[in-house]
Every structure is written in C-alpha cells, then in structure tokens.
Amino acid sequence: MIKRFDRDFVVEELPRYEPSGQGTHTYFYIEKQGLSTPAAIRTLSKALGKRDRDFGYAGLKDAHGVTRQMLSIEHVSQPKIAALDLRQIKIISTSRHTNKIKLGHLRGNQFNIRIRDVDSRVEENARQILDVLQRRGLPNYFGPQRFGVRGDNAAIGRAALLNHYDEAIAMMLGRTSHVDKGSAKQARELFDSCDLAASADAWDRGFRETARVCRVFSESGRDANKAWRAVNHSMRKLYFSALQSELFNQVVSRRINSIDQLLDGDVAWKHLNGACFIVENLVEEQPRCAEFEISPTGPLFGKKMKEPTGAAARMEDSVLDEANLNRNQISSPEGKKLDGARRPLRVPLEDVSLEQGQDDHGPHIKLSFTLPPGSYATTVTREICKNG
C-alpha cells in the first residue's frame, strides 16, 4: 500500500537552473503537505495579497503526499515570504532571479516512497522488476491523476470533441459515482433528478466553476451547447488533454512488449534534447535505441504533431479507429485547437535504491528514484505492486 500517510510519498523537484541571487523575482522553495500546487498558490496569494497568476511554478503536484518545489513571485521581498507562517506550507529558502519560473523549468523529480503491507517476497520481486525497468525503460504512461478523481476527464473531452454536449455536461454535473462525497454527491444527485437550480446551489466553494456552469445550463433552458461554452478555457483544455493522454496510453499498451524496439516510420525521441526525427533506417537506428540514446514516441494527437509513417502510422491509425475518431477531428475541431506533440513511449529510471525499513507504523519498503518531468511515479509503484 502506498500513500497511507502523507510522509510515505515525498517528491522533490530538481530545478533546471539555480537562481542567480539577483533580479526582481523572488524564488522560494516550499514544502507543502496535503495541498495541490494550485491550492498552495491560492493560499499564498491570500497571504501575500497577490493574484494566483502572479506566481510562477515549474510543475503541478497533487495534494497527496509531501512535495518540495520552487515558486516565484515578482516584487515581493524575501523577508516577507520567509516570515510566512502557514499550516500546510513551509518556506525552506528564498533567493532572487531575473525571470518568472515557467512550466517545464525543471530537470526532473526525485521520489522517496514507502510501500507498506507487503510480504517478504516483494523485495526480491521488486529488485528484479526495477532491473528490467532500468534496462528497458519505464513505460511512460500518464498516471490516473491525469484523468481526474472520477476518472472521466477523457470521456468528457471525447464527448465535447464529437459535439455531444449533452453527454459532456451530464458527466460534468451528474452521474453520481462511488467517489463522490458530501456536497458534490448531493449536487450531482440533484442534477440527475433535474433540480438544476438546487444543484447549482449545492456545490461548495471549491466547485465555484462547476456551480456556474450548472447555473448557465439551468438558466438557458438546458442548452448544453451554451453550458459547454461557459466552461472556462483551462478546464476545457484539461478535458481534451485527458483524451490525448488516454489515446497515448493505448499506444503504449499496444507496444509494451517491444517498448525498446523501433518500428519503421517511427518518430524517434532524442533523450539528450527532446528533438524528434523520422526513423528511415531501422538497422542504423536500433543500436542507438538499445543504448537509450533514442526511443520510439507515441502521439498526443493534434494539428502540429509530427506524423509517423509506415508501420508506426498504421498502428496509431488503428488506435484512433478503435476510438471512432480520426486525425482531422482531433487536429482541427470546430472551436477547439489541439496543437499536439510527441511523447517518448519510455523514459529512463535513474538513481534507484530499494531497502527494507521500519518505523512507528510498521515495516515497509523504501523506494527512491528519479524521473524526467511529466513522468509518473505511480507507473513505477504499479509495476512493483501488481500481481502476476
């Protein structure tokens, strides 16, 4: 079992560069517990009298566990930030730099995870699994947090992409599931029973945007198209990104047994700099893949995505066919611009260590490793904890 306690899951960002000590932007390294990055920024914005968008950050971290990451804010003194006394956020250090931190300004993430309730055989199996993952690469699946607490973000994105707005709004506002609790469960039940005004009022403060969309749907006479247009841009982008991620995961699954093998026409990824190129000669390029210099990529479908050819293109087409989608729908949908990109099917798993431990909560296995930005630790723990 992982994440029984917040301190069982610790992630530390590895910055791409260190602050220079000069400039108008204050960089401050925080440790947060039980807060997502957006929630931490909302807390900090209230404490400092700033807007959420004034803060810079390199990566989004979820609320489960303990996270150490660098944030930035302009024209706020270091002593003012260092003096903050917040319940779930600790200021570790401050410095200055010349620019705002942007998304992606990190080298990777270091994870320290305790896995509990495991039997004596798990350590030996885990070492064998980690050996394979280090040699062949970690499957670069998007983790479950990409798809939302209810796991339906991709389905909402697909419905909206196909202009099935009634379905998208029904999933957003209703369709109660076992994960819904408290006011969210009540609001969804009211929506499903067609009491729309009461549903809009039932959502608590953390679901202000959801309540607003519900109110638009109610006041427009159940116009799902109008309600969808009321969904803010970042949320719509999240749903469509989840759909892209789901399709990518399906490509990884199809190639999982040959994840370290190139196909004719693959778009290969250079791990040194992230550059991509079409594989035209398998005999020449496969040795570079075996050395982990390059890797095959999968699609984040969109209009600017570099297209594969040959066998790789046919395989990706088959994933779209199975989802009853096509490239044109995803690349140029009406009112929805998805740029797209390529993502390596595997990533290096580095700085790996595994040892048995004991604390006040009992025995555990302590697992440490480093992953590149955008890769998910849950993929590692799933490989170790799965049966069969």
Is 62 designated active site? Answer: yes
C-alpha torsion angle, residues 169, 171, 176, 178 (rounded to 10): -150
Beta pairing, strands 362-371 & 106-116: antiparallel
Rounded to whole angstroms, the Cα distance separating 71 from 312 reads: 40
As a residue count, the chain comes to: 388
Rounded to whole angstroms, the Cα distance separating 142 from 63 reads: 17
Q: Give phi and psi for 94, each to the nearest 5.
A: -135, 155
Rounded to whole angstroms, the Cα distance separating 153 from 301 reads: 16
Residue with tokens 């982008």: 237
Rounded to whole angstroms, the Cα distance separating 276 from 294 reads: 9
Q: Give phi and psi for 22, each to the nearest 5.
A: -125, 150
Q: What's the token pair of residue 222?
A: 């159940």
Helices 153-161 and 165-173 sit at what angle, rounded to 10 degrees?
160
Which runs of consecutive H residues, i.e. helices, occur in the chain? 37-48, 78-82, 121-136, 153-161, 165-173, 182-192, 196-202, 208-219, 224-230, 233-254, 282-290, 310-322, 327-331, 377-385
Amino acid at 326: N
Q: Give phi and psi for 104, each to the nearest 5.
A: 100, -5
Please give the C-alpha separations between residue 88 and each of 18, 24, 108, 113, in angstroms, as whole numbers.
Answer: 25, 27, 24, 20
Amino acid at 252: V
Residue with tokens 């993502």: 343
3-state helix, strand, coil split of the chain in percent (to 5) is: 40, 25, 35
Among the options 6, 54, 62, 264, which is catalytic?
A: 62
Q: Minimal CA–CA distance to 223: which of 162, 169, 160?
A: 169
The catalytic residues are 62
